[in-house]
């Protein structure tokens, strides 16, 4: 019998989705459409409710050995976050069994496991107690947690006053430094500054090398490839493939580049931000997510907010199909948004000089830039996918571009010969 850390057997999670269908034939419903001030009870009487079963996960089975670093990949809606919530015991499965060995620390959503009225200091002790640690054990790690999280000045401030980035820094530090046997991390790490993201990846790498098990969900295939030795590919609630991370990543990337047109051009996103988030991102392209070589990239964003924000900008990164970042920008134009407002923005990226090939993009909403401690409030990585097409010459033949030449053409250059 293998020395497993996690064993999942025939796991399934079912949700019941309710749909209300207004009866448009009834006179009262027609009146209610214009008389919005009438009591809501009248509207409910004239709506038919239907229920639908939705299986977020179905018949999922796998085994993870102690010390494995496993990347969970798949498109939005594949069941990744549901799986992590089940592994973290945040929700119960509909059927199947999960066997876990050791303490599990999870970082799934901003602020998970924190009491908003307690200070950062108090929440460190609270989280440690939840993990079954004594005060003496927590005290030994306390200084390292605070130093890594970079929140010394706000240690005795209630965490409800923390920004999303501060939340994540403290939550990750607690999860990583209190020495769980299994560390479960979702894409929530994408919220925050780039330098801290690098620190987190480095820490997770160290945790894995120390023999503890790491489960990591991300759309950044470069991070998955660097950090994880194994991968599990989920699709529509099922395990499509599992094994060594390299082949699993390649299978996933091949699939997303052959997705239907509606998936390539527009993707509905659930943002990570608590107070501001991307509602949708659209690549403006003439045909099936393709852009001719030399033509600008154009994106349309729909952004929603629960609070007032000023001095916001959009950050963008372009990734090759292998997950390597080939370029990054931050918009010079800044914008504001009010609580409850929905704002539409368009981004034009000209002179990008990407060579023909397949790419995907990542976007952020934040303040500042990479030289001034930029703080990201929401991040979306992996959508939409697109291809740069080669151009035809005068003979209508398509030019061939060797990918080994690189991903960017530097057209503006000058050579001085003496």
The CATH number assigned to the domain holding 360 equals 2.70.50.60
Same domain, 124 and 62: yes
Answer whether residue 272 shows pLDDT above 70: no
Same domain, 225 and 288: no
pLDDT at 402: 53
The strand pair at 182-185 and 104-107 is best described as parallel
pLDDT at 97: 93
Same domain, 332 and 195: no
Domain final residue, candidates 189, 221, 256 = 256
**Rg, the chain, Cα only:** 24
Sign of the CA dihedral running 238, 243, 247, 248: positive
User: 218 - beta bridge partners?
Assistant: none
Domain final residue, candidates 256, 277, 308 = 256
Same domain, 214 and 78: yes
Same domain, 185 and 299: no
- Mean pLDDT over 160-167 rounds to 80
Query: Tell me: the pLDDT tens digits for 35-78?
Result: 444 455 444 555 555 677 888 899 999 999 988 999 999 877 78
pLDDT at 48: 56
Same domain, 250 and 317: no
Answer whether residue 323 shows pLDDT above 70: no
Query: Can you give the length of the chain in residues?
Result: 418
Q: How far apart are CA 96 and CA 91, in angstroms?
A: 13
Sign of the CA dihedral running 157, 162, 168, 169: negative
Q: CB within 8 A of 308, min separation 6: which ones?
A: 336, 337, 338, 339
Residue with the larger pLDDT of the pair 156 and 49: 156
Lowest mean pLDDT among 284-288, 327-331, 354-358: 284-288
Residue 24 counted as domain residue: no
Query: Tell me: the pLDDT tens digits for 3-35?
Result: 889 999 999 998 887 655 544 444 444 444 554
User: For residue 115, how far is the Cα from the chain centroid?
Assistant: 23
CATH number of the structural domain spanning residue 129: 3.40.50.300
Residue 361 counted as domain residue: yes
Residue 279 counted as domain residue: yes
User: What percentage of the chain reaches a pLDDT higher than 90?
Assistant: 21
- Mean pLDDT over 377-388 rounds to 75
Residue with the larger pLDDT of the pair 272 and 414: 414
> Two tokens at 337?
């948004």
Same domain, 344 and 275: yes
pLDDT at 98: 93
Residue 14 counted as domain residue: no
Q: How many domains does the chain have?
A: 2
Same domain, 192 and 306: no
Domain final residue, candidates 256, 289, 310 = 256
Residue with the larger pLDDT of the pair 313 and 201: 313
Same domain, 250 and 350: no
pLDDT at 281: 86
Question: Among 80, 78, 75, which Cα is nearest to 385's?
Answer: 75
Query: Tell me: the pLDDT tens digits for 248-268?
Result: 988 887 776 665 545 544 444
Same domain, 99 and 188: yes
Answer whether residue 305 shows pLDDT above 70: yes
User: 290 - beta bridge partners?
Assistant: 287, 387
pLDDT at 233: 94
User: 12 - beta bridge partners?
Assistant: 95
Same domain, 106 and 131: yes
User: For residue 46, how far is the Cα from the chain centroid?
Assistant: 39
Average per-residue pLDDT for the chain: 78
Question: 415 pLDDT band (50/70/90 cuts)?
Answer: low
Same domain, 234 and 358: no
Residue 383 counted as domain residue: yes
Q: How far apart are CA 161 and CA 16, in angstroms?
A: 35
Q: CB within 8 A of 216, min separation 6: which ones?
A: 69, 70, 71, 72, 185, 204, 223, 224, 227, 228
Question: 398 pLDDT band (50/70/90 cuts)?
Answer: very low
Query: Tell me: the pLDDT tens digits for 82-137?
Result: 999 899 888 899 999 999 998 888 877 666 668 889 999 999 998 888 777 788 88
pLDDT at 303: 92
Query: Tell me: the pLDDT tens digits for 204-237?
Result: 888 878 888 999 988 777 778 878 889 999 998 9
Q: Which residue segment(s) compose the domain that 248 sits in? A: 56-256
Q: By the 8 A CB rule, do 276 and 306 touch?
A: yes
Residue 409 counted as domain residue: no
The structure tokens 């459409």 sit at 33
pLDDT at 293: 81
The structure tokens 């134009």 sit at 333
Residue 418 counted as domain residue: no
Residue 308 counted as domain residue: yes
């Amino acid at each position: 019998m293998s020395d497993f850390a996690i064993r999942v057997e025939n796991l399934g999670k079912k949700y019941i989705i309710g749909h209300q269908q207004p009866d448009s034939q009834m006179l009262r419903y027609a009146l209610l459409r214009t008389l919005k001030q009438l009591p809501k009870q009248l509207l409910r009487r004239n709506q038919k409710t239907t229920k639908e079963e939705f299986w977020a996960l179905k018949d999922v089975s796998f085994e993870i050995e102690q010390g494995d670093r496993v990347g969970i990949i798949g498109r939005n809606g594949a069941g990744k976050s549901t799986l992590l919530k089940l592994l973290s015991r945040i929700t119960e499965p509909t059927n199947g069994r999960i066997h876990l060995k050791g303490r599990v620390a999870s970082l799934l959503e901003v602020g998970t496991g924190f009491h908003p009225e307690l200070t950062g200091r108090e929440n460190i002790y609270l989280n440690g107690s939840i993990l079954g640690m004594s005060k003496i054990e927590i005290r030994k790690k306390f200084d390292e947690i605070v130093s890594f999280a970079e929140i010394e000045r706000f240690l005795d401030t209630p965490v409800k006053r923390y920004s999303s980035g501060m939340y994540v820094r403290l939550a990750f530090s607690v999860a990583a430094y209190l020495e769980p046997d299994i560390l479960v991390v979702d894409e929530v790490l994408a919220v925050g500054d780039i330098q801290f993201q690098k620190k987190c990846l480095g820490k997770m790498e160290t945790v894995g090398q120390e023999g503890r098990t790491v489960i990591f969900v991300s759309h950044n295939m470069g991070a998955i490839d660097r950090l994880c030795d194994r991968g599990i590919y989920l699709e529509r609630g099922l395990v499509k493939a599992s094994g060594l991370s390299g082949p699993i990543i390649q299978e996933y990337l091949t699939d997303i580049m052959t997705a239907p047109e509606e998936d390539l051009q527009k993707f509905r996103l659930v943002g990570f931000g608590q107070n501001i988030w991307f509602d949708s991102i659209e690549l403006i392209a003439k045909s099936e997510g393709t852009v001719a070589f030399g033509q600008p990239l154009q994106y349309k964003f729909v952004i929603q907010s629960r609070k007032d924000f000023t001095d916001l900008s959009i950050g963008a990164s372009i990734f090759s199909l292998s997950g390597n970042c080939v370029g990054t920008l931050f918009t010079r134009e800044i914008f504001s948004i009010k609580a409850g407002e929905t704002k539409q923005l368009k981004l034009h990226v000209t002179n990008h000089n990407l060579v023909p090939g397949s790419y995907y993009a990542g976007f952020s909403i934040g303040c500042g830039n990479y030289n001034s401690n930029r703080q990201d409030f929401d991040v979306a990585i992996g959508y939409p996918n697109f291809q740069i097409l080669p151009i035809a010459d005068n003979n209508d033949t398509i030019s061939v571009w060797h990918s080994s030449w690189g991903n960017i053409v530097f057209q503006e250059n000058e050579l001085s010969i003496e």
